Amino acid sequence: MGFFSKFMKSSFWPLLLVLLFVPTSSQEEGFISVVVSDKGLDFAKDLLIQKTLSSIIPLQLPQIKQSVKVPYLGKADVVLSHITVYTADVPSSFVETGQTGVVWVVSGATAELSLDWSYSVESWLVEVSDHGTATVKMLNKFVSFSMFASVLVKLVIGAMQLYDVSSMDAGVTVALENKAGTLKLSVLESGCHVRYLSIKMDGGGSWFYQGLVDAFEDLIQSAIEDAVSDKISEGITTVDSVLHSLPKEFVVRDIAAMNVTLVNEPIVSKSSIELDINGLFTAADHLTSSFYHKRSEELVAYGASSKMVDILLHEKVLDSASLVLFNDGYMQWNVDEEQEQFLSSTSKWKYIIPRLYKMYPNDAMELNFSVSSPPIIRISRNGIESTIYLDVTIDVLDFSEIVPVACIALEITASISPKMAGNSLFGTLELKDFAADLKWSKIGTLHISLIKPVMSLILKTVIVPYVNVKLLKGLPLPILRGFTLQNAEISCTDTKLVISSDVSFHEQ
């Protein structure tokens, strides 16, 4: 008999599931951390109980055959068939974490079973056979056993007297490890023990039926214990298969792919579990990334929230997303006369850039805005700031030919206000300040002090609103199907964005 089986038979805990985290020496870097609080673990526990019960009920137990010696009559052959656990309920449960892992306890469980029974006795004195149905109720304090029979030999069946019974104990030891970037679950040992089931019959021919009932007790207990243990192991194996079927990349709108490979081992504290994933973006058609290779930084301390889960995004996650968008050419915009009327002709600029009007009088023109390098995003306790390097090229339409005549380099400082909508993170960009310098010119020296107010107006009325429309599409977070973040709150620490949220689940 294994350790767990011995433990379950000696413990007074009703239902115990122990998740044993097996550490390894992996020290890879993770840029997204998911911290599940005790509130989140409690939610997961309730959901797990609900899903477990719905998946195993009704639970069919194997047929039971047993020969029983009946006083004065001899051997009785007993058959129990169609044994079915058709309802179960868990009224009370809790979950705890510690250095050894997670403990899930369910108490006061109740269940009801139905079965068909039959027996036959052959002796020199009499031949007796009988059959019928029975129901068994495993309650928090009592077990009731009812028999409905069709008796071929007339006997008087006495009343049944109920005795106290302890709740059922069950448990499983599961090893969790990071195997090739995927969370692997392995059953180390599982067990179930129906602690006590006693039925006593008084009066009538109970002296005859008591032997049958005594046989029922051990056989039913054993059948339930074996079936529940098998179902627990099957459930863990199923979850493990689901985890291994999950992709290691999370594709966003066919543009970028987030690396959702698990790194390091789960970190278990007294009130939470932390999982770390790589979290960096690459182009959707690339499988690996060369973006950042230095070792992981220490987790920045943050105030524990009252929510179910905290998702910590390192600023490098946002940097990697901006790098993909930059490399794929998504950071270029043209501003023409349809968007801003005063840009329709060089005549509108003759007092701002006189030489432009002199060289190209009344020609149509447009401004080409192009990000010259990936935006830099920095997160601090004061919020999120981005530094954007933008080249503004002045183009003139001269005899149907587009002629670039000058380029102005802008260094923009902007703040980003993050928000959550469902499982997507989006933000609002706000211009704080910018500096402007002449990068090159084919029309002589430009007076930046005259051009800067025009640039400011265009940035505020055209470029920033355009970017904000794009940001409204949001960045989907890698949340498992069926789960939705609710009442999310966002805060910032040094280098990390913290999303604290409750979670709901809807079957899909």
Quote the number of domains for the chain: 2
Indicate if 201 and 302 belong to the same structural domain.
no
Claim to verify: residue 304 and residue 194 sit in the same structural domain: no
> Is 288 part of a structural domain of the chain?
no
Last residue of a domain, one of 245, 261, 289: 245
Do 470 and 365 fall within a single domain?
Answer: yes
pLDDT at site 230: 84
Examine residue 252 and state whether it is found in any structural domain, yes or no.
Answer: no
Q: In terms of C-beta distances under 8 Å and separation of at least 24 residues, what long-range contacts does 352-359 make, across chains too? A: 352/447, 352/450, 352/451, 352/454, 353/394, 353/406, 353/443, 353/446, 353/447, 353/450, 353/451, 355/443, 355/444, 356/394, 356/396, 356/405, 356/406, 356/443, 359/405, 359/443
Domain co-membership, 103 together with 197: yes
Residue ranges, the chain, pLDDT below 70 = 1-28, 70-73, 98-102, 106, 108, 123-126, 130-167, 169-172, 174, 176, 195-216, 284-305, 336-343, 508
Q: Which of 245, 278, 306 is the last residue of a domain?
A: 245
Check which CATH number belongs to the domain holding 94 and give it: 3.15.10.10
Residue 491, domain CATH: 3.15.20.10
In a shared domain, residues 58 and 141: yes
Name the helix (H) or strand (E) containing 488: strand 483-493
- CA-nearest of 376, 377, 384 to 492 is 384
Three-state secondary structure along 292-321? CCCCCCCCCCCCCCCCCEEEEEEHHHHHHH
- β-bridge pairing 15-21 and 168-179: parallel
> Would you state the pLDDT for residue 423?
92
Q: Is residue 450 part of a domain?
A: yes
In a domain, 256, yes or no: no
* Closest CA relative to residue 505, chosen from 18, 54, 20: 54
Q: Where is the domain boundary, 214, 245, 276?
A: 245
Structure confidence at residue 73 (pLDDT):
65
Tell me, yes or no, whether 269 lies in a domain: no
Q: Can you name the residues that pair with 486 across neighbouring β-strands? A: 502
Task: Examine the domain organization and report whether 240 and 306 are in the same domain.
Answer: no
**290 in the Ramachandran plot: left (φ > 0), alpha (ψ -120 to 50) or beta?**
alpha
User: 336 and 210, same structural domain?
Assistant: no
Is residue 454 a part of any domain in this protein?
yes
Are 228 and 357 found together in one domain? no
Residues 338 and 210 grouped into a single domain: no
User: What residues make up the domain containing 389?
Assistant: 297-501
Residue 465 and residue 316 share a domain: yes
Token output for 225: 């214990």
The encoded tokens of residue 280 equal 């960096």
Indicate if 222 and 341 belong to the same structural domain: no
Residue 42 lies in a domain: yes
Look at residue 484 and tell me if it is in a domain.
yes
pTM: 0.78
> Does 236 lie in the same domain as 311?
no
Note whether 280 and 289 are within 8 A (CB). Answer: yes
